[in-house]
């Protein structure tokens, strides 16, 4: 019985034999030597993509209650205060090839990192950074915000039903997913469970996206933080739907949770659906990489099973851009100007009158 069984998981899952490793992922890069991760990854390992990066100009952009909670934490743990300067970002992102900066828009808890701000971060190093727009489908002008994001060159969307106060299959949210599928915009689902006491935990459960994934099979979904605290639901979701992934953000600084999640993913044969995410500025990619490669040290002196190092390497070095259907920055250039071209669907395809396909949930905001 594995360590996960101690957390109350069904015995049937843990009495099963270990699954065979998944078939090789075509998006993966060549291997690296065994042993602990080096202090600075070699050039051959620099295909690493960090899919979960945050930046803000003031804590109030996370919402008044979130700002208050974070400041209170700094009083007792000042060493944990994150540096969100662009200089800190550039230094932290040295080990990775590409990084995705996530916007945020959750009117329910007063959180807002607008797409224009994300675009400014990306414009500093457009050959390295990509931007996802925070979209709140409960906002009256969310389609206009989506148009603006695409025009600014952002290539994906971030949503947070828990912090937004809406069911993931609310009819307005379903219309957003429909547009994202049509425009090849992947969607990161941010847990949002810690923004405020008013955040609706019940809407953060990954299984609620099962209906979304069934109705929009071409929509690429990323369950942020492996859906914590419902990691088992996220593992089932990414095993069930071929366009559903989960990132490891918010886990790198928690070795026991990281070990349990990675072990379950390995046993269930879904390691190829895990994406690397640091959750900067709360953790750096270097720390996250080290902790992933070191995760088996928790089993030393025990009979606990380990995760093969090759499987860990594949998670760290996976080409997340290929998984999400995104082109590397500057891959498409206008031959006349030498500037990157916008390969997204024209924004006139955003038609508010077009209903989403299939059944939808009710609005509860």
Per-residue model confidence (pLDDT) at position 46: 56
Per-residue model confidence (pLDDT) at position 335: 58
HEC readout, the chain: CCHHHHHCCCHHHHCCCCCCCCCCCCCCCCCCCCCCCCCCCCHHHCCCEEEEECCCCCHHHHCHHHHHHHHHHHHHCHHHCCCCCHHHHHHHCCCCCEEEEECEEECCCCEEECHHHHHHHHHHCCCCEEEEEECCCCCCCHHHHHHHHHHCCCCEEEECHHHHCCCCCEHHHHHHHHHHHHCCCCEEECCCCCCCCCCCHHHHCHHHHHHHHHHCCCCCEEEHHHHCCCHHHHHHHHHHCCCEEEECCCCCCCHHHHHHHHHHHHHCCCHHHEECCCCECCCCHHHHHHHHHCHHHHHCCCCCCCCCHHHHHHHHHCCHHHHCCCCCCCCCECCCCCCECCCCCCHHHCCCCCCCCCCCECCCC
**pLDDT tens track for 93-143:** 999 999 999 999 988 788 888 999 999 999 999 999 999 999 999 999 899
Tokens of 207: 């299984």
Per-residue model confidence (pLDDT) at position 37: 38
Per-residue model confidence (pLDDT) at position 75: 66
Which CATH number is associated with domain 44-328? 3.20.20.140
Per-residue model confidence (pLDDT) at position 10: 39
Per-residue model confidence (pLDDT) at position 336: 63
Q: pLDDT tier at 44 (50, 70, 90 boundaries)?
A: very low
> Would the pLDDT of 216 be above 90?
yes
Check: CB of residue 213 under 8 Å from CB of residue 219: yes
**pLDDT tens track for 242-285:** 999 999 998 988 999 999 999 999 999 999 999 999 999 989 99
Pairing verdict, β 221-223 and 244-247: parallel
Per-residue model confidence (pLDDT) at position 79: 67
> Would the pLDDT of 222 be above 80?
yes
Domain boundaries, the chain: 44-328
**pLDDT tens track for 277-314:** 999 998 999 999 999 999 999 999 999 999 999 999 99
**pLDDT tens track for 143-197:** 999 999 999 999 999 999 998 999 999 999 999 999 999 999 999 999 877 767 7
Cα(92)–Cα(87) distance, integer angstroms:
9
More confident residue, 128 or 67: 128
Cα(195)–Cα(70) distance, integer angstroms:
10
**pLDDT tens track for 334-356:** 556 555 554 443 334 454 434 44
Q: What percentage of the chain reaches a pLDDT higher than 70? A: 75
Per-residue model confidence (pLDDT) at position 23: 40
More confident residue, 208 or 110: 208
């Amino acid at each position: 019985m594995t360590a996960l069984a101690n957390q109350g998981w069904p015995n049937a899952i843990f009495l099963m034999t270990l699954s065979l490793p998944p078939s090789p992922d075509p998006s993966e890069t060549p291997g690296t030597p065994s042993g602990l991760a080096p202090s600075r990854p070699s050039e051959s390992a620099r295909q690493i993509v960090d899919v979960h990066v945050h930046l803000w100009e003031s804590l109030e952009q996370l919402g008044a209650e979130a700002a208050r909670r974070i400041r209170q934490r700094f009083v007792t743990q000042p060493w944990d205060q994150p540096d969100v300067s662009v200089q800190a970002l550039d230094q932290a992102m040295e080990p990775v090839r590409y990084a995705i900066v996530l916007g945020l828009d959750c009117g329910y808890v007063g959180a807002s990192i607008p797409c224009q701000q994300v675009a400014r971060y990306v414009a500093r190093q457009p050959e390295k950074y990509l931007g996802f727009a925070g979209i709140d489908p409960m906002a009256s002008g969310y389609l206009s915000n989506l148009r603006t994001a695409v025009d600014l060159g952002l290539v994906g969307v971030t949503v947070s039903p828990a912090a937004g106060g809406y069911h993931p299959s609310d009819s307005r949210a379903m219309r957003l997913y429909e547009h994202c599928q049509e425009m090849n915009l992947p969607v990161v689902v941010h847990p949002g469970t810690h923004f405020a006491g008013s955040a609706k935990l019940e809407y953060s459960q990954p299984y609620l996206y099962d209906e979304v994934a069934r109705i929009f099979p071409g929509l690429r979904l990323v369950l942020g933080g492996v859906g914590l605290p419902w990691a088992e639901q996220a593992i089932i979701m990414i095993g069930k739907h071929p366009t559903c992934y989960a990132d490891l953000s918010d886990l790198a600084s928690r070795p026991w949770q990281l070990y349990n999640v990675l072990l379950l993913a390995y046993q269930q044969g879904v390691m190829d659906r895990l994406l690397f995410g640091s959750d900067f500025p709360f953790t750096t990619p270097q720390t996250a990489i080290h902790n992933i490669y070191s995760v088996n040290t928790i089993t030393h002196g025990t009979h606990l099973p380990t995760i093969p190092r090759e499987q860990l390497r594949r998670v760290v070095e996976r080409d997340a851009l290929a998984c999400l259907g995104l082109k590397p920055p500057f891959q498409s250039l206008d031959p006349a100007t030498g500037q990157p071209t916008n390969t997204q669907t024209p924004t006139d395809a955003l038609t508010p009158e077009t209903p989403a396909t299939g059944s939808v949930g009710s609005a509860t905001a």
